[in-house]
Amino acid sequence: MRTLRSVVRGCGSYLPPRMVSNAELEGLVDTSDEWIVQRTGIRARHIAGEGETTSTLGIAAARAALADAGLTADDIDLVVCATSTPDHTFPSTATMIQAGLGMHHGAAFDVQAVCTGFVYAISVADKFIRAGEARRALVVGAETFSRILDWEDRTTCVLFGDGAGAVVLEAQEGEGTSADRGVLAAKLRSDGRYREKLYVDGGPGSTKTTGHLRMEGREVFRFAVGMVTDVVEAVFEATGTSADELSWFVPHQANKRIIDASADKLGIAREKVVITVDRHGNTSAASIPLALDAAVKDGRVKKGDLVMIEAIGGGFTWGAALIRW
Ligand code: COA
């Protein structure tokens, strides 16, 4: 049955120039390169400098994605930005990106699902496109987690980084099968009972401050693999596809051990797994579009490839989406 699909027409990303190595963090908190690499696989992360904000990173990534798609902001009618570190409580970062692109039409809004934000944003934009409400959507994941870290807390400050990534989705007709290009299915989940395992201890409606990220790392680890593998299996089932058919697995880049354990449990070969956590750290909602862009630009992800994205984040939220590139 012919159906509308949201096809990826282009992608782009942006990282702040300042790269911070584990060795540099050794001078800040009681940690070591060996501990960080062994527990997380992280060797370095990028940190936003003065004058850089989530929206400026997002605008740079959006411009790169538009250029890659051969389009301008005039061709876009929806901007969805996934972020948990907005420049301001309001207006949304999406409207700031919209303005930064010189776009004065269409609609723009943020989606907040912490590290699962990009999967949520893809799912939302896909629904607008398939409902005929938008023709081309810019989906951005942008974060400056460095601004909500407690830089005296070694259990969290070594894990995160800043950056942004974006994709342009375009309405195209498909046959309604898994051979179509575009977003084939997305499954979203959340369970607010787990909110205290990974949260920010401030906010406008509670403390009237921004707050700092707090996490029970071991607890998050305990739940992560089971949750993401369940939701990935649900996407395989919904699309009638299997791990063997995947070209690439592009997970949220939180921790190499979680990624490896998830891939192993799903029966996905390690050589199909895209890893950027070693050089980006955990950039929350930006991590998947950053990893996608890296794998497209180095020639791994090509037109027609079957790509699974998945994430888990604060809330907990978790989700997965299957995209034929
Ligand atoms: N450097 C050195 N030692 C550190 C450290 C650091 N940066 N952070 C914690 N430690 C210490 C702890 O204080 C603890 O010391 P103790 O045994 O003397 O009390 C020891 O290392 C072990 O801590 P623990 O928290 O049990 O380590 P872990 O093996 O669980 O690894 C994480 C910690 C955070 C790396 C791991 O739990 C993890 O990756 N969790 C998932 C986090 C995540 O991905 N969150 C984002 C999801 S979107």
Query: DSSP secondary-structure letter at 1?
Result: -
Active site residues: 115, 252, 282
165 pocket-lining for ligand 1 (C-beta < 6 Å): no
| Residue 294: per-residue pLDDT | 98
- 218 pLDDT above the threshold of 90: yes
Residues 215 and 85 in one domain: no
Which residue, judged by its Cα, is nearest atom 33 of ligand 1? 217
d(CA 293, CA 167): 9
Instruction: Using a cut of 0.75, tell me whether the model's pTM lies above it.
Output: yes
Across the range 186-203, mean pLDDT stands at 98
Sequence-separated (6 or more) residues with CB below 8 Å from residue 14: 57, 60, 61, 64, 163, 164, 165
Across the range 61-89, mean pLDDT stands at 98
**Residue finishing a domain among 143, 158, 174:** 174
| Residue 1: per-residue pLDDT | 85
d(CA 167, CA 186): 16
221 pocket-lining for ligand 1 (C-beta < 6 Å): yes
Ligand 1 centre to CA of 247 (Å) is 32
Residues 170 and 275 in one domain: no
Residues 106 and 226 in one domain: no
Q: Look up the CATH number of the domain holding residue 56.
A: 3.40.47.10
Sequence-separated (6 or more) residues with CB below 8 Å from residue 293: 11, 12, 13, 64, 165
218 CA: nearest ligand 1 atom:
37
- 15 pLDDT above the threshold of 90: yes
Residues above pLDDT 70, as percent of the chain: 100
Across the range 220-226, mean pLDDT stands at 95
| Residue 176: per-residue pLDDT | 96
Q: What digits encode the pLDDT tens for the residues 79-97?
A: 999 999 999 999 999 999 9
**Residue finishing a domain among 114, 141, 174:** 174
| Residue 103: per-residue pLDDT | 98
Residues 169 and 186 in one domain: no
Distances in whole angstroms, Cα of residue 161 to Cα of each of 48, 137, 155, 270: 8, 26, 14, 24
254 pocket-lining for ligand 1 (C-beta < 6 Å): yes
Ligand 1 centre to CA of 36 (Å) is 9
Across the range 149-169, mean pLDDT stands at 98
Which residue, judged by its Cα, is nearest atom 34 of ligand 1? 217
Structural contact between residues 249 and 269, judged by C-beta atoms closer than 8 angstroms: no
312 pocket-lining for ligand 1 (C-beta < 6 Å): yes
From 28, 29, 45, 218, the mutation candidate for ligand 1 (largest count of ligand atoms within 8 A of CB) is 218
154 pocket-lining for ligand 1 (C-beta < 6 Å): yes
Domain that holds residue 207: 182-324
Residues 18 and 71 in one domain: yes
Long-range contacts of 20-24 (CB under 8 A, 24+ apart): 20/44, 20/45, 20/46, 20/47, 20/161, 22/158
Across the range 182-205, mean pLDDT stands at 98
Residues 167 and 39 in one domain: yes
Across the range 115-135, mean pLDDT stands at 98
User: What are residue 250's DSSP bridge partners?
Assistant: 309
**Residue finishing a domain among 139, 174, 209:** 174
| Residue 67: per-residue pLDDT | 98
| Residue 284: per-residue pLDDT | 98
d(CA 52, CA 154): 24
Residues 153 and 66 in one domain: yes
154 CA: nearest ligand 1 atom:
7
Torsion of CA 101, 72, 136, 249, to 10 degrees: -90
d(CA 178, CA 305): 11
- What mean pLDDT is reported for the chain? 98
40 pocket-lining for ligand 1 (C-beta < 6 Å): yes
Residues 162 and 18 in one domain: yes
Answer positive or negative: Cα dihedral of 217, 218, 219, 221.
positive
220 pocket-lining for ligand 1 (C-beta < 6 Å): yes
d(CA 164, CA 56): 9
The domain tally of the chain equals 2
